[in-house]
A and B are shown apart, each in its own frame.
Chain A
Amino acid sequence: MADQALGLMAQNLTKRFTGSGSDVLALDGINLEVPKGGFTSVIGPSGCGKSTLLRILSDLIEPTTGQAEVNGKSPREAREAREFGVVFQAPNLLPWRTVLKNVTLPLQVMKVDRDDRAKTATDMLELVGLPGFERHHPWQLSGGMQQRVAIARALSMQPSVLFMDEPFGALDEITRDRLNLELIRIWAQTSATIMFITHSLTEAVFMSTQVAVMSARPGRITEVIDIDLPAERTAETRDDPRFYELVIEVRRALSAAAGVH
């Protein structure tokens, strides 16, 4: 069952939320495979269950039926082995800790030696383009910088999988474009498997190796589009005619998904 080459795997996943008088089928028969080192974006309208999918894979909630695997393990085993990091939509930094101490939080939980964790955190801050900000407090940083700290924190455990739930959704487009480039660079340097939830077509196409398109109510993956852009993405990739073709293809798939119902 466990394919060694897969970073992420979902098989017939369903998730049903039952509350008082409500019964919502959030996910219906989700099948998805992300190869190790792949960058998969999941795109779809609000409420289509894309965050639910990420939350199942990152062991924040359990599926109703079906199977999820991270590096060939159950999400729980993978979490306990600290094989993945999560970046949330909000930077979610602790205001009483300095930038450095926010980044070292996971290492502190892992009981890593103090000097080692400071060194790792400094390296990670450099990786996300924030060298020298160790002693700042979160409130002294802009939204984009705070999200970089959150990425550094997720990377500090040196995870092989990174879950990102609309991490740049709250940022302005200029900052978002820049962080897209930064994330591509970080991905190349860490060779992590990335699952990236987004609302943005261009963002999804620009960074990913594949884009999964979802429809809402019930949440289904209607199409998986391979992004056959050159492996090395730069600012110029956005001018590539193929980039436009793919954006149009994903947009068509999204409209088709919306038109099904």
Chain B
Amino acid sequence: MGRIASQIASALFLALLAAVLWEVAKLVSGTGDIKMPHVWSILAHFGTTTSQGEPYSTFMLLNVWSTAKASLTGLVLGVGLGMLTGIAIARSRLVGYGLTPLVVAAQAVPIVAVAPALVLWLGTGAATKAAIATYLTYFPVTIATTRGIQAVPAESRELFQTIGASKRTVLFGLEIPFALPLIFVGLETAAAFSVVGAIVAELPFGSPDGLGVVILTSWQFYIFQPEALYCVALAACSLGAVFVLGIRSIAYFSLGSRSQGEVL
């Protein structure tokens, strides 16, 4: 657990460092408060009230929650589908030949180009956000799972063969545990992508709430209230960090002793 605590500590230190650099850059370049508000006025903005009379922090938390729900749904779906695809590709040469080009081609599709069509089919709500988050999380997990399972040493497979293990035992007793450290690397990338995917889905398509919506409105009212844009950027970064740290914690506990010893 000490490792996670120290990671949080170093993240906080980096945030502090970024704040100092921001102020130094502002001072040196002589940039005005409209383009670069002071760090403290950005933070103070969290304490203000919106035009609806709601505390700004509550307003922000509600929107973070809306994005987080969609990201998490997408992450869970993407991880599930990605692992299944990865297992299928790794286990069957035929499936591998068929699916790998598709997976790679689909990964090259710019999501912003597909998003309008998704909005037409699924509407502007949570479904579209989750769908795009799923799409973005699917690939890193698929590839990590495939690579992880393909890296199982031939000798370990032969061991399972000599003891008469079924395909199911090989999958759950050898392939998945062996691939797990690599799958977690893919999961970390996926966790960050899931937040990006949900925000992208909220941006230009008339979503009712979420961080993407707040980014757009803050941008529109930038000239009156520049702090808001930086508040929502901070909120988005924090959400991404929470997701990635969450995955790291799960990895830490599920890999157990393997995170202390030689792994692969």
Chain A residues in the interface with B (C-beta under 8 A): 58-60, 79-80, 82, 84-86, 88-90, 92, 94-96, 105-106, 108-110, 137, 139-140, 157
Q: Name 9 extra pairs, CB < 8 A, besides A82-B163, A82-B164, A94-B156.
A: A59-B162, A86-B158, A86-B162, A88-B159, A94-B177, A108-B173, A109-B163, A109-B165, A110-B164
Q: How far is the CB of A220 from chain B (nearest CB, A)?
A: 25
- In the complex, chain B residues whose CB is within 8 Å of the CB of A140: 261
Contact B263 A95 (CB under 8 A): yes
Minimum distance in angstroms from B57 CB to a CB of chain A: 43
Cβ A80 vs Cβ B164 within 8 A: yes
* Chain A, interface SS category: loop
What are 10 A-B pairs at a CB distance below 8 A? A60-B162, A79-B164, A88-B158, A92-B155, A94-B156, A95-B262, A96-B177, A137-B257, A139-B257, A140-B261
B155 near A90: Cβ-Cβ < 8 Å: yes
* Binary per-residue interface labels of chain B (171-182) against chain A in the complex, 1 for a CB within 8 Å, 0 otherwise: 001100110100
**A97, closest chain B residue (CB):** B177
Residues of B within 8 A of A96 (CB): 177, 180, 255-258
Chain B residues near A95: list those with CB within 8 A.
258, 261-263
B217 in contact (CB, < 8 A): no
A142→B160 CA distance, assembly (Å) = 23
A residues near B155, Cβ cutoff 8 Å? 88-90, 92
Cα A90 to Cα B157 with chains together (Å)? 13
Closest beta carbon of chain B to A77's beta carbon, Å: 12
Given contacts A60-B158, A94-B156, A94-B174, contact A139 B163 (CB under 8 A): no
Interface residue B238 (Cβ < 8 Å from any Cβ of A):
no
The residues of A that contact B178 with a CB separation of less than 8 Å are 94
- Decide yes or no whether B49 CB sits under 8 A from chain A: no
Check B249 for interface membership: any CB of A closer than 8 A. Answer: no
Binding site for A on B (CB under 8 A): 153, 155-156, 158-166, 169, 173-174, 177-178, 180, 255-258, 261-263
Q: How far is the CA of A94 from the CA of B152 in the complex (A)?
A: 11
A residues within 8 A CB of B166?
Answer: 109
**In the docked arrangement, what's the CA distance between A108 and B174, Å?**
13
Partner of A86, one of B159, B165, B177, B261: B159
| CB-CB nearest in chain A for B169 | A109
Contact of B163 among A88, A89, A90, A105 (CB under 8 A): A105
Q: A79-B164, A96-B256, A109-B169 are in contact. Are A139 and B158 (CB under 8 A)?
A: no
Give chain B nearest CB distance to A91 CB in angstroms: 10
* A140–B162 alpha-carbon span in the complex (Å): 26
Chain B nearest CB from A240 CB (Å) reads 36
Given contacts A137-B257, A140-B261, contact A92 B159 (CB under 8 A): yes
Can you list the 9 inter-chain pairs with the closest CB atoms, starting with the nearest? A139-B261, A106-B163, A86-B162, A139-B262, A96-B177, A109-B165, A92-B155, A109-B163, A137-B257
Q: Which residue of B lies closest to A137 (CB)?
A: B257
Q: A86-B158, A92-B159 are in contact. Are A105 and B173 (CB under 8 A)?
A: yes
B156 → chain A closest CB, angstroms:
6
Bound: A57/B156 CA distance, A: 18
C-alpha spacing A139/B169, complex, angstroms: 23
- Given known pairs A60-B161, A60-B162, A109-B163, the reply for A137 and B261 (CB within 8 Å) is yes
- Least CB distance, B87 to chain A, in whole angstroms: 18
